[in-house]
Chain A
Amino acid sequence: MTPFDYARAGEVAEALRHGTAPGAAYLGGGTNLVDLMREGIARPDRLIDVTGLSTTIEERADGGLLIGAGVRNTALAEHPAVRQRYPMLARAILAGASAQIRNMATVGGNLLQRTRCFYFYDVDGARCNKREPGSGCDAQDGFNRIHAVLGASDACVATHPSDMCVALAALDATVHVAGPQGSRSLPFTDLHRLPGDRPDQDTVLAAGELITAVELAPLSFGANATYRKMRDRASYAFALISVAAAVEMDGDRIADLRIAFGGVAHKPWRATKAEAALRGGPATQQAFLDAAAAEFADARPLRDNAFKPALAGRALAAVLGALTTGDVA
C-alpha cells in the first residue's frame, strides 16, 4: 500500500476543500477502496473520511426518502420505511457481501465500488484499460464468465458489482452531489457510464465531486417488488445475474412496472425496453420471456458468459410471475 494521509471531514465544505486536491479520495466505509489500495489499484495520497457527513434517513414531503451518503448499508436495509415501501432495496442490500461488510459499507461508497474483473485486479500481471487506460483488455478473450453482455465496448467488458445499485436503478433514484462548482442532482441511472473508450471512468462525477445523498421518489407499488440474485454459492458471491422488479397490476394487465438487471453491464441496467414491452400488456410467461428477449436483443456474449441472456430471461419471468400473481416470497 502506498503511504497516504488521512483527514476526517466535519462538514461538506471542508470535505470539498480537501477532496479537490490532486491525489485525494473520499473514504466511506473503506470496504472497497481500502482493498483497492492494498492491491495497488488505487493509490491516493490523501483520504478524506466523509462517513460522518450525512448519516440520516429523512422522510420527504412527497412520500420519498432522502438517504445520507454516509448511511451504512445495514442501517438502510433495516430501516422500516425501506422495508415497507422499498423492499426491493432492502433485499438487494442484504443479498450483497457479508454482515460485517454491510455494517461498514456506506451508501455513497456502494455507488462507487469498482468492478470485480479478474484482470482489473491483477496490477502486475494483466492488461486493463479501466485500471491503466490504453493498456488493453485481457478479459475480452480471457476469463469472462462474470462479464458484461450489454453495453460493453472493445475497450472494456467489465460489470458493475453492486446489488444495491440495481435496486436504485429500478427505483428512479436521484443522486445529490456537492462539488467545487456547486451542488447538483442527477438521475441515478445517469450516474454510471457505459465504458466506451473511457472505461477508467465509472461515473460522470467530476474530480472532487462528492455524493451527499440518494433520494428515492415515492413509488405507489414499491411494496410489490423483489430482488433476486443468482450466484455460484449461497452467500458472499457477486451476482452472475440479478433482477430487481416492481409491478402494479390493473386487473390481469400490467399497469406499471420497474425492472433493472445486475451482472450484465458496466452499469446497473435499467431495462427500459422490457418495461415498455410489458407496460399495459398481459402478465404471461411468454410476455415476460419476450420482454427479456427484447432487452437482450443486442447482447454480445463473450467466451464464458453466453448463458447470461437466457438466465436473465428465466429469472425475469420467474420474478414477474411471482409479482403479478401476488406470490412473491
Chain B
Amino acid sequence: MSIVDTAKQAAQGLLQSAMEKLVPLAPDSWIPGGVPDPLIARKHGLIGKPVSRLDGALKVSGGAHFSAEHRFDGMVYASLAYSTIARGRIVAIDSAEAQAAPGVVLVMTHHNAPRMAAPALFGSSPTAVGASDLPILQDDRIHWNGQPVACILAETQEQADHAVSLLRVTYAPEPATTTLEGAKANGIEPGVFMGGPLENTIGDAEGAFASAAHKVDHTYRTPRHNHNPIEPHAATLAWIGDELVIHDASQMVSQQAQTIGEVFGLKPEQVHLTSPYVGGGFGSKGLWDHQIIAAAAARLSGRPVRIALSREGVYRIVGGRTLTEQRVAIGACADGTFQALIHTGLTVITPHNAMPEPFILGTQSAYAAPNLLLKVEATRMDLLTNTFMRAPGEAVGTFALESAIDEMAVELGIDPVELRIRNEPEKDPTSGLPFSSRHIVEAWRQGAARFGWDQRSPVPGARQEGEWRTGMGCATGTYPYYRMPGAEARITLTRDGDTVRAKVEVAAAEMGMGTATTTAIVAAERLGLPIEAIEVGYGDSAIPGAIMAGGSQQTAAIGAAVIAAHTALVDELLALAGNDSPLAGLSADEVGSDEGGLAKLDEPGRRESYASILARAQRDSVTATKAGSAPLELMHWSMHSYSAVFCEVRVNAVTGETRVSRVLGAFDCGRILNPKTATSQFRGGIIMGLGMALMEETMVDDRSGRIMNPSLAEYHLPVHLDVPEIDVIWTDIADPHTPMGAHGIGEIGITGVAAAVANAVYNATGKRVRDLPITLDRLI
C-alpha cells in the first residue's frame, strides 16, 4: 500500500467543496511554464484507490475469449515444421506421407506459399513492427535453427501435428556463426538503438579511472532469456471477401495490422485485427512468422485458420532477450564520490534484425560522475532474432551497474545505500536536462527503514543459522518515462433519457496489466461520470490511432490522447449547448466537469448536465476524436521511474542453493493511478527478476545454434515456492510534467532485482557471482 495513504485519506475529508470537485480541462502539453494536469490535485474519485480489474470476472469465468478461443465456421488448425539447421538451404521436402495423413487440408512450403513481401522491420517506419525483415516461406534459405519450413492445415490440431511429424526435410547446411567467439571474429559493430548510437562520452573516463584512488573493474555476463507468457502465441484468422480478419494476441494492435497488410499488399482498411485479451506479452506479443504463415495458408486453402504455437514453437520462432557481456569500471574518491563511470560491452544480434540490448540506458541517468564512458557494441550470430523483453537494456544493465556499485561499496567500506545517495546527480549526467520528478532518495530512505536495512552486517557471511547463511543486498532500479506519438482517443457520449454513458476508445492493448481499468478510472474523473458509466474500447485496429503497450508508455499515451479528445468533446458540447444553456458563451477553459455535466469553474452553480445539453440539441450522442499532443516534455526534462530494491537471501553453505526470503521494492513512479493493479505489476516484475537472477537461461547449443531447453520443464522460471513475501511501497509523488502525474510502471519492477539478489548472495557468502544465473554450482 502507498506510504502516504493514511495522510491521503485524512485529506479527503477536508476537500469537499463543489469548486474543488470540478475538474478543469487538462493542458494539452507539458512544457516549462505550463500547468500540471488538474487530476494531480484531485483528492477524491477513484484515482489512487485500489480498483479491481473490470475484466476480472470475465476472465475467471471463462467469458473472456483469447485469440485461440475464437472460432470461425469451417476453421482448420495449423501446425508448423521447424528447421533443424542454423543456416543453409532446403534441398527437398518429402510431403507425400503428410499429404495422405488423415484430416490434412494443406501442406504449404516455400514451393506453394503465396508470394508475399517481407515484413517491414521494427522501427523502419512508425508502424513497422516486423521482428525481422526476412521473407517468410518465400525461398529455400534457412537463417536460423528453428525457422518455419512448412505449415500443415488439418481438420484437428492433433491431425495437423501428426502430419508435420511425417514430413521429411532434407537440408544442405552451410557454415553458420553459432558461437560467440566466431561472431566476435567476424566483427563487432557500434550498437544502434531506435536510430541513435548507444554511446556516451563525457570527459576522460579511462584517464580519470586510471588515476582514481579506489577502483572496481569487472565483467558481468547475462545469458539469453526466452519469453514465457502463460498464453503461448496464437491467432485465429479468416479472409472474408478481400478483408483479412485476425483475432490475435498483440501488444501493438494497429501497427501489427498495418505491417501484416503490407505483407499481403492490402490497404489498411482491409485488415481488421482484434486483440481484446492477451495472456501476457512482456515484449513478445508482436508480429512473428506464425500470423503471416497462417494468413497465407488461409488464403491458399480458402479456409479460416487457427494457429496456436506449442510451447516449443514459441521457443523456435519467438525471440527473447539476447546475451550481454558488460564491463563496469568505477573510479571513486575515498568519500565515495565517483570520478569515473565506465559501462561498456557487447551484445548479440542477428543478420536480420537490429535490436542490440541497450544495457547502458539506465546508466545514462543514474549517477553523478564527471567522466562517463558508456558504449554498447554488437556482433551477429545466425540465430532466431532477439527482441524486446521486459525492460530491454535496464533489466540486464542494472545487474552489471548495480553489482559494481555494491563492489565499490565493499571496496570503500561505505554502506551501499549511502554510497548511492552520495552520488545522486543534480541533473541528468548525460543529457544535462533537469529531472522532471526524481525522488529516489526518499524511496531509498523509506525502503531501508521498512526493510530493516540496519540489521544487515557489512561483513559477508556474518549470519548463519544451521546450514543457511543469510545476507541482504540492494540495488537501484530505473526505467525511462516515454510517451510515443500517434495515440488517439475517441470519446462518445450517448444519452438514454436522463442518463449518459461514455465510451472511450483507444487503440491500446491490454495484456493483463489493467490498462482498460485504469483508463476507465481516469476517464470517469475527467468526464465527471461514475466508473459504471464508462466503457473502454481497445484492442481493435478499427479504432483510430496507434498505441503500443511497450516502453511502459501506454498509460501516458492514452492519458494524453484522452485529454485531447476530452477538450474536443467539451468544445463540441459547448457548441451544442447554444444560447439557451446556462453555459452559453463559455469557452472550454472556463468550465470543468463533475456529476455528469459541465459547470463554470468559478461559478459552479452555472451548470448543465450532458443529458440536458444533448436533449436540447436533439442529439442521442456526441463524439470527439483527437490525437494526443507531441511528447514535448521529453525534450525538456530527464524523465524516469525509479526503485530501491531490497532483498534478503539464504544460501545453503553445504549445497550452494539460494533461496530468496524477502524482497521489498520502494518505487518512485509518479502518481500511482490504481494501487491494486500497480502492485501486481511491481510484484510480477520482481518475480521475473528473481528468475533472471537465479535460474533463467536459454540454452543455445553453440554447435547447432539450436535451443535445447524449449519447455517449461527445462527452462526454469520461479515456481510458487521460489517466491517469497514481496513488499511494495511507493512515494506517490506526482510528476507535474506528465498526464495524471504518472510514470510508467510496467517494466521498472524487473530492474535492479538481479543485482539486489547477487549483492545479497555476496553479503551472505562473500562470493561475488558476476555471471547469471546464480546457480548452486557457482556457489560451492
Contacts and interface: CB of A to CB of B under 8 A. Distances in A.
Given A240-B776, A314-B655, 12 more contacts: A3-B102, A40-B165, A121-B714, A125-B84, A142-B701, A143-B701, A230-B657, A233-B719, A233-B722, A237-B716, A307-B776, A311-B780
A230 B776 contact: yes
B761 to A, nearest CB: 15
Interface in B569-602: none
B780 A310 contact: yes
Interface string B691-715: 0001100010101101011010110
A318 B655 CA distance: 9
Interface string A228-239: 001111111100
Interface residues of chain A: helix, strand, loop or mixed (majority) = loop
A232 B775 contact: yes
Interface in B689-746: 694-695, 699, 701, 703-704, 706, 708-709, 711, 713-714, 716, 718-722
5 contacts: A126-B706, A232-B716, A234-B719, A234-B722, A310-B780
The list of the 3 closest CB pairs from A to B, nearest first, reads A234-B721, A307-B777, A118-B708
Contact of B704 (A125, A145, A240): A125
A138 B701 contact: yes
A314 B656 CA distance: 10
A171 to B, nearest CB: 23
A118 B719 contact: no
A83 B444 CA distance: 49
B468 to A, nearest CB: 12
Given A143-B708, A232-B716, A311 B777 contact: yes
B655 A143 contact: no
Contacts of A143: 699, 701, 708-709
Nearest to B691: A233
B424 to A, nearest CB: 36
Interface of A: 1-3, 40, 116, 118-119, 121-122, 124-126, 138, 141-143, 145, 230-237, 240, 307, 310-311, 314-315, 317-318
A118 B699 CA distance: 10
Q: Which of B656, B659, B694 has the most CB of A within 10 A?
A: B656
A221 B309 CA distance: 52
Nearest to A43: B165
A143 B695 CA distance: 15
Given A142-B701, A307-B780, A2 B719 contact: no
Nearest to A238: B713
B654 A318 contact: yes
Which bracket fits the contact residues of B?
A: 35 or more
Interface residues of chain B: helix, strand, loop or mixed (majority) = loop
Given A118-B709, A119-B708, A311 B655 contact: yes
A314 B657 CA distance: 12
Given A122-B706, A311-B776, A235 B719 contact: yes
B82 interface: yes
Contacts of A40: 165
Contacts of B708: 118-119, 122, 126, 142-143
B158 interface: yes
Interface string B66-93: 0000000000000000101000000000
B700 to A, nearest CB: 9
B264 to A, nearest CB: 30
A41 B601 CA distance: 73
Given A1-B162, A124-B84, A230 B655 contact: yes
Contacts of B162: 1-3
A311 B706 CA distance: 29
A311 B655 CA distance: 6
A236 B82 CA distance: 28
A237 B715 CA distance: 10
A116 B716 CA distance: 14
B161 interface: yes
Nearest to A35: B713
Nearest to B701: A142
B720 A125 contact: no
A233 B713 contact: no
B467 interface: yes
B386 to A, nearest CB: 20
A142 B721 CA distance: 30
A315 B654 CA distance: 7
